Amino acid sequence: MKWLILSSKVSPPRSRRKMSAKVKRRRKKVAPPSSARSKRGAGVWKLVLPLLVLAVLAGGLWWIFYHSETFIVREIRVRNNHAYSPEEVIEISGVETGRNIFALNPASARECLLRDVNIRDARVERIFPDVIGVEIVEREPRARVQFGHLYTIDDWGVILGPRKRAPETKLPVIRGLRVKGGSLFPADKREACLRLLRELEEQDIGSLVTIAEIRLFSSDLIEMRTEGDLEITLGRDDYGVQLGRLKMVLDKLGPEVARARGVDLRYSKIPVAFDK
């Protein structure tokens, strides 16, 4: 009997080896077909091309606006100026003719104007195609503060420059305030006095009597003196109500106001003192 002898060299079946992560990644990278690449490129150009066209148009418009004779500034119009001439306002603003209107910075020109202490507000605008408009609001003198010498102020307590120190109308002289570093002190008296100045202007008291002096020596009242030596006493509140009483008193006194020497506006029943 012959025995079938199996060779020991017969190799065992190969076991599946684990595929490394690197090989997996390499196998996953399959080049896209050419049709997909072309579609992707066409999509990119659809986005880029309009942007390029817009950039070219913007550049062309910029060149036209900044180099065209149409937009060269030929006129500067100044409005609402009183103490300043148009030429002075233009010089302060720094605006010039002969330049491109788009080269003007309205905000910068306005800042130049507001650096002048006598100018409260300003507006600078382009009026196409070749005009610059400048409008200012000047501060107006309302009183003079006596502290060493006289300081002219507006109704917001700003100490005005030389151009506004010689107003045509007479101004009341304020006593009891101090001036330091271009500001008025103490703060409580300053605010009370400025409120009174604004209310005097609002109620047009100047058309009835001329206030020559305002005194703030007391903490709870303000004293005024007219050119006719009428002494007027007010409390530090309700200026509108108290000045309304003053108008009523002046209206009732009529010609007799020349004899009056004192009026106390703090009370609803207004006491009036007369010459003997």
Give the pLDDT score at 68.
81
Neighbours of 211 (CB within 10 A): 21
Q: How far apart are CA 200 and CA 222, in angstroms?
A: 13
Give the pLDDT score at 58.
65
CA torsion sign, 90 to 92 to 98 to 101?
negative
> Where does the pLDDT of residue 54 fall: very low under 50, low under 70, confident under 90, or very high at 90 and above?
confident
* pLDDT tens figures, 91-100: 999 999 999 9
Dihedral in degrees, nearest 10, Cα atoms 62, 66, 68, 72: 150
Higher pLDDT, 193 or 21: 193
Tokens linked to 240: 């509108």
pLDDT of residue 113 exceeding 70, the answer is: yes
pLDDT of residue 194 exceeding 70, the answer is: yes
pLDDT of residue 32 exceeding 70, the answer is: no
Q: How far apart are CA 227 and CA 40, in angstroms?
A: 91
Give the pLDDT score at 5.
47
Q: Which CATH class is domain 69-138?
A: alpha beta
pLDDT of residue 6 exceeding 50, the answer is: no
Mean local confidence (pLDDT), 104-124: 97
Higher pLDDT, 15 or 147: 147
Domain parsing of the chain, residue ranges: 69-138, 143-274
Q: Would you list the DSSP string of 213-271? A: EEE--SSSEEEEEETT--EEEEESS-HHHHHHHHHHHHHHHGGGGGTEEEEETTSSS--
Give the pLDDT score at 206.
93
Give the pLDDT score at 201.
95
* pLDDT tens figures, 219-262: 899 999 999 999 999 999 899 999 999 999 999 999 999 999 99
Instruction: Give the CATH H-level superfamily of domain 143-274.
Output: Cell division protein FtsQ/DivIB (3.40.50.11690)
Give the pLDDT score at 8.
47
> Where does the pLDDT of residue 63 fall: very low under 50, low under 70, confident under 90, or very high at 90 and above?
low
Give the pLDDT score at 25.
57
| pTM of the predicted protein model | 0.75
DSSP code at position 2: -
* pLDDT tens figures, 136-170: 999 999 999 999 999 999 999 999 999 888 766 78
